[in-house]
Amino acid sequence: MSNVAKIAIPLLLLAAAGGGAYYFLNDPDPTPVAPPRGEVPKVDPVSNKEQQPKLIEVANGGTENNNTGRVAASSIPDGNSHANAPQGVKGRVLLPNGEPAVGIPVMLLENAMSNPIEMFLKNKTGQVSPPLANSVTFADGSFALGVLKAGQAVDLRIVSDTNPEVTRAPIKVRIEDWYDAGDLVLEQGLVVQGRVLEALSKLPVPNAVVYMNGSNRSHVMAATPGRERGIATQTDANGYYRFDNGPSMGLVNLLVEAEGYATSSVLNKHLKPDAVNQFNLEIERGRTITGVVVDVTGKRIRAAKILANGLSTKTPQTETVYSNSDGEFVFPPLRSGPYRLACSANRFADIMIPIALTDEDIKIVMTKRGSVKLRVLTTNNRPVKVYRMSLKRAFPNNPNNIGNVMDFPDRNINPGQYQGEWAIIEGLPSGSFRFQISERKHAKTLSEMFVVEQGQDDVEVTCVLTMGASITGTVINDQGQPVAGALITSDMNAGLAAGSGIFEMFRKMIPEKHTTKNVRTDKQGRFRIDKLSFADYMVRASHNKYCEGTAINIKLTEESQVVDAGVIQLQLGTLVEGITTLDGNPSGQIKVVISMPTPAGTKLPTLQPNNPASMEQAAKRMFNTKVLSDGNGNYRMLKRVPPGTYKVTASRQSSNNPFEALLDMKQSEVELIIRPGQDRVSVNFKLASR
């Protein structure tokens, strides 16, 4: 297999896996999956009649136009803005008429793709992440939200009760930089209204709660806190409801709940901008399913998640509840008929009840997931009781590969988790696995494969830590002189594609067999990286005066193995910098990307395995570097660029329109020729608003 295939095939598989994960996490089924019913939102009843806006008090004084039927801004706390942080996001929110939007909640959320595995686990267990920072706009519509962790990817949400929600994402703020999002103008929302009626009698249902959310649910992994189910309003005495902040783009779902009634919904409704969008909702008297969740000994299980899915077209309803401290659960009113129950709980195997009928009392008996006795030893058989443990999926037919187990987070093990010489590891799913052990005095080590089955006795696993292998080498410049103080970093072999969007998007989903370590070259340009786990590596060499150099296809397979990466020669490259403007004003959060041009019909060259020249050619072909401009519109590439011909693009990142960045890239693309001996090149970009 060629080296290109070795890199391209895993990336394609990763893209497919990542796409599958995205498909699974976002659930393309348009039927809303409702979390457990909480408190009915405290909103004023609404009428189907046109009402005049009224003035209400807001959190920081003053008044604001607000239609009835919405939560008053004064009910939103100031929150924690972290405005004294050294970096953050600021801006101003304006009403559609250009006046300051006062008392509008604004918040920063962790971007879902910054840690998709953790986000998946939180969603599975029903956890809601609070905002990283939140506040309300001041009298002039301005806001300032601090980012405590510089460089963290965040989403900016503007959560108006009278206008469609606004999102700017992702935003990455540099250390000691305040990104100015500028003037964010709220859109005039579309009117969505209707009536909630009892299905048989057609009588109005007062005090019903109606939720509205987008059909695509593209942000389901990071829903707005307090709006996990959508925007809520309540019907008046005549069953009428009304939203004044329907989105101008996309489809919406409407879901209605009322005491004693089964949940009902209408799905994928297109909103017309030039008309009142009228949708009536019918609900019927409901029945419930009750029960208790216990283990095989009869001990009751608290906080178990029970999901009910209707099995017929007459029961197109999905509800989720959690067992209480006594293990008992009660579903809200359901449409009469058969349902399938799926139950999951921490450290227990998932269980499915194929058919459950309304008015039935169900006893769900859960079996504990498997447990393992783990013993970790040094190379001289001394016990180690403090380490980091990861569970990795093993593949009997492909023993060199491992996979992440998304619903089993990594754990820190300490002596308190030991019973004698064994650490008791509970909550393992069924299947074939290996433990990956990280301990500061040894190389990262994989245990032998073991099999977990429900109901079996504890499996005993002994993992003997390894001291690992080493990589050595020498770094020189283009004059053949040693480069002292160069930063040497070990990376996975596929890291050659780092900087390409696909690789970075899915990197956190890749099981890492390799060890990432940093060292500096000595005065003779030499380096040595020790305690490396057994894997395929590449080595990066970087220095602020030179272009990055690499050595790839380094295979570490044996204890005490030392592999010489050879000589890494660094070119004296060029520093690319400039200013990005929007409508003539310096603007931050503009991504500038430098990459190799790929003319139509261009094919990658055929590469020879273990051929350094061909791999150097691949590295040049895959060259990519990017950076975000700071709050003043300044950018400077983190990598020096070697001589050659490149394309450079600039694009806005924090936009509600996913195609805007593509249009920016297409319209801003310029050719950049880097000549030998150039120290700096300036490339400025002038983007226009749309």
| Separation between Cα atoms, residue 62 and residue 206, nearest integer Å | 33
Sign of the four-CA dihedral 600, 601, 607, 612:
negative
Examine the pLDDT at 564 and tell me if it is beyond 80: yes
Number of neighbouring beta carbons within 10 Å of residue 161: 23
Per residue in 68-112, pLDDT (tens digit) is 222 333 333 445 899 999 999 999 999 999 999 999 999 999 887
Check: CB of residue 520 under 8 Å from CB of residue 527: yes
Please report the pLDDT score of residue 338 as a whole number: 92
Please report the pLDDT score of residue 465 as a whole number: 97
Q: pLDDT band at 17, cuts 50/70/90? A: very low
Beta bridge partners of 253: 213
Measured CA distances, 468 to 324, 403, 536, 541, 587 (Å): 48, 21, 13, 21, 48
Helix, strand or coil, per DSSP, at residue 536: strand
Picking from 602, 619, 372, 360, the residue whose alpha carbon sits closest to that of residue 497 is: 619
Measured CA distances, 571 to 216, 236, 541, 625, 676 (Å): 48, 73, 11, 16, 9
Per residue in 429-440, pLDDT (tens digit) is 899 999 999 999
Least-confidence region, from 21-25, 245-249, 357-361, 370-374: 21-25
Kind plus residue range of the DSSP H or E element containing 28: none
Please report the pLDDT score of residue 254 as a whole number: 94
- Give the mean pLDDT of 391-397: 94
Starting at the edge strand that comes first in sequence, how are the strands of the sheet with 590-595 ordered? 624-628, 590-595, 644-652, 670-674
Range picked from 11-15, 69-73, 380-384, 587-591 for highest mean pLDDT: 380-384
CA angle 297, 370, 16 (to 5 degrees): 135
H helices, E strands: number in the chain: 5, 51
Q: pLDDT band at 602, cuts 50/70/90? A: low
Kind plus residue range of the DSSP H or E element containing 590: strand 590-595
Check: CB of residue 101 under 8 Å from CB of residue 95: yes
Q: pLDDT band at 10, cuts 50/70/90? A: very low
Check: CB of residue 276 under 8 Å from CB of residue 243: no
Please report the pLDDT score of residue 47 as a whole number: 33
Both tokens of 407, joined, read: 């619903």
Please report the pLDDT score of residue 151 as a whole number: 86
Check: CB of residue 439 under 8 Å from CB of residue 429: no
Sign of the four-CA dihedral 487, 491, 494, 497:
negative
**Beta strand ranges found along 101-206 (DSSP E):** 105-110, 133-136, 142-146, 153-158, 166-172, 178-185, 190-198
Which of the pair, 499 or 509, is modelled with greater confidence?
A: 509
Beta pairing class for 450-452 and 536-543: unpaired
Q: What percent of the chain has pLDDT over 70?
A: 79
Q: pLDDT band at 126, cuts 50/70/90? A: low
**Beta strand ranges found along 358-497 (DSSP E):** 361-366, 370-377, 383-384, 387-394, 402-404, 411-413, 418-419, 422-428, 431-438, 445-446, 450-452, 459-464, 469-477, 487-492
Picking from 466, 474, 564, 548, the residue whose alpha carbon sits closest to that of residue 515 is: 466
Please report the pLDDT score of residue 458 as a whole number: 85
CA atoms within 13 A on the CB side of 466: 22
Measured CA distances, 82 to 78, 101, 143, 145, 148 (Å): 11, 21, 11, 6, 8
Which of the pair, 255 or 30, is modelled with greater confidence?
A: 255
Please report the pLDDT score of residue 43 as a whole number: 35
**Beta strand ranges found along 199-302 (DSSP E):** 209-214, 231-234, 240-246, 251-257, 264-270, 277-278, 281-283, 290-295
Nearest 10 degrees: Cα torsion 607, 609, 614, 616: 130
Domains located in the chain, CATH noted: 31-285 (2.60.40.10), 290-366 (2.60.40.1120), 370-464 (2.60.40.10), 468-570 (2.60.40.10), 575-687 (2.60.40.10)
Measured CA distances, 295 to 298, 302, 304 (Å): 5, 11, 11
Picking from 493, 377, 516, the residue whose alpha carbon sits closest to that of residue 435 is: 377
Q: What percent of the chain has pLDDT over 90?
A: 59
Check: CB of residue 572 under 8 Å from CB of residue 677: yes
Picking from 261, 359, 362, 257, the residue whose alpha carbon sits closest to that of residue 34 is: 257
Q: What is the CA radius of gyration of the chain?
A: 29
Kind plus residue range of the DSSP H or E element containing 118: helix 116-124
> Which DSSP category does 75 fall into?
G
What pTM was estimated for this model as a whole? 0.68
Please report the pLDDT score of residue 506 as a whole number: 59
Which of the pair, 33 or 672, is modelled with greater confidence?
A: 672
Per residue in 439-474, pLDDT (tens digit) is 999 999 999 999 998 777 789 999 999 999 999 999
Residue whose pair of structure tokens reads 């969007």 in the numeric block: 501
Q: pLDDT band at 52, cuts 50/70/90? A: very low
Cα-to-chain-centroid distance, residue 115:
5
Helix, strand or coil, per DSSP, at residue 161: coil
Nearest 10 degrees: Cα torsion 196, 201, 203, 206: -60
Instruction: State the average pLDDT for the chain.
Output: 83
Helix, strand or coil, per DSSP, at residue 102: coil
- Give the mean pLDDT of 555-567: 96
